[in-house]
Amino acid sequence: MLIGGKLINFNKPLTMGILNITPDSFYEGSRFQDASSIVQKARQMVIDGADILDIGGYSTRPGADVIPVDTESRVVCDAIKAIRTEGIETPISVDTFRSEIAREAVAAGADLINDVGCGVLDSAMFETVAELKVPYILMHNRANPKEMNDHTTYKHVVGDVIQELSAKLQVLRSLGVSDVIIDPGFGFSKTVEQNFALLRGMEMLKILDCPILAGLSRKSLVWKTLNTDPSGALNGTTVLNTMALVNGSNILRVHDVREAKECINLYEKVIN
């Protein structure tokens, strides 16, 4: 798969560093709003080993407020341009469910589209991806942040997630989109117990024949289980990231790049 002009074969798991350009992301340590701090954090993530930088201007935590399109566009594109102006060439993904933002972000210098809406929240997203010809991250989700917790009924969470992602993949393939990464969507339209069931069965997602991204970093399944909060969830995140690697994850999407890279390096030592 070509990402930012680089051929990626996923022989070794990658790290994706999270840069939230919002004031209300669920984890305070990932919020950056001025150009200087954005660039500084991006550069540090690259030093720590980030293979991809993931920039989002719309908080998708459960219950998050709606952000105007023009606001999301401005903060995301300004961040991408600031990073590129400083000569940082690491591939950038844009974390959005809006096709308009995806289009503008790619024009500003982004290399991937990370769609937390699964093509459900914007009917034009799949056609936009096909037109832009950039890799696409298809994350399982059923509803917008305000309503996602009302859509957690499954017969079998792993099987249902696979079935729903497979249907979306068929549409993408019919449009000529070939470079797709799948994300089971931990924390999106799922209860804590469903998230753990999905992690246990994540290896089954290999049937979709796409690289797999795991986004577990500091999420509620970690800190609620450990009776802490997002700031106290790093150790638990590392444990679950290790389980994700064991169960087939090709990309870890994380707030803490250095720790994730160490996790990958040790995992590689064990299996090789």
C-alpha torsion 206→207→211→216, nearest 10: -50
Q: Which residues have C-beta within 8 Å of that of residue 128, sequence separation ≥ 6?
A: 99, 102, 103, 113
- Could you please report the per-residue DSSP string of 209-251? -S-BEE--TT-HHHHTTTTS-GGG-HHHHHHHHHHHHHTT-SE
Annotated catalytic residues are 219, 253
β-pair partners for 18: 54
Token readout for 8 is: 């990626």
Burial of 83 (0-12, 13-18, 19+ CB in 10 A): buried
Beta strands 2-3 and 6-7: pairing type?
antiparallel
